[in-house]
């Protein structure tokens, strides 16, 4: 408590009827989902390209079928499943490459943050919601599967 001997030196979190924090929203609002999905897919594609380049030294190709294995596991994980990669038809080196790509991409939804203003001086950062992540994975799969009928 401030007094004459001990003045208040710490700014209060908020003052009554002024600067009250805004109650949090359920999920961050994405104004332009299509544009945001393109931005996310561009980021994911960059990561995939880095992995493709790294795999060249191991004589491993990350083609459409390999990417579909990773995307399917990511989608399963986003829906609450275990996100298990189907590596039954791949050797140890190929399996390692696909596992490393999955491990990096599965972290992406928590690395992409959306800012929500919650007060005059405060911002809350939320990770991407799983339904939007699945939309981005669908778009990525569509882009990487030119032979797929849409």
The model's pLDDT over 113-142, given as tens digits with 9 standing for 90+, comes to: 877 778 888 888 888 899 999 999 999 999
Residue 141's pLDDT is 94
Q: Is residue 25 part of a domain?
A: no
Q: Report the alpha-carbon distance of residue 145 to residue 35 in Å, rounded.
A: 20
Q: Is residue 4 part of a domain?
A: no
Q: What is the pLDDT of residues 66-82, one digit of tens each?
A: 999 999 999 999 999 99
Q: How many domains does the chain have?
A: 1
Inter-CA distances, 120 with 13, 26, 63, 85, 114, Å: 11, 20, 49, 45, 17
- Which residues, at least 6 apart from 147, have a Cβ–Cβ distance to it below 8 Å? 64
Contact 85, 98 (CB under 8 A): yes
Distance between alpha carbon 94 and the CA centroid of its chain, in Å?
A: 24
Q: Is residue 13 part of a domain?
A: no
Q: Is residue 8 part of a domain?
A: no
Q: What is the pLDDT of residues 5-40, one digit of tens each?
A: 655 555 555 555 555 555 555 556 777 888 989 999
Residue 62 has a CB neighbour count (10 Å cut-off) of 22
The H or E element containing residue 126 is strand 122-127
Residue 150's pLDDT is 46
Q: Is residue 22 part of a domain?
A: no
Q: Is residue 14 part of a domain?
A: no
Residue 58's pLDDT is 94
Helices (H) and strands (E) in the chain, counts: 5, 2
Q: Is residue 149 part of a domain?
A: no
Residue 1's pLDDT is 55
Domain interval for residue 114:
33-144
């Amino acid at each position: 408590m401030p007094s004459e001997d001990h003045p208040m030196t710490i700014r209060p979190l908020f003052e009554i009827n002024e600067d009250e924090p805004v109650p949090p929203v359920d999920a961050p609002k994405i104004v332009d989902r299509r544009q945001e999905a393109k931005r996310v897919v561009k980021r994911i594609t960059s990561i995939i390209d880095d992995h493709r380049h790294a795999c060249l030294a191991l004589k491993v190709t990350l083609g459409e079928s390999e990417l579909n294995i990773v995307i399917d596991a990511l989608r399963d994980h986003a829906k609450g499943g275990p996100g298990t990669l189907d590596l039954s038809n791949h050797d140890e080196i190929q399996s390692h490459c696909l596992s490393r790509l999955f491990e990096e991409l599965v972290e992406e939804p928590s690395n992409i943050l959306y800012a929500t203003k919650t007060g005059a001086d405060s911002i809350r950062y939320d990770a991407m919601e799983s339904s939007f992540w699945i939309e981005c994975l669908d778009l990525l799969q569509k882009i990487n599967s030119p032979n797929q009928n849409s």
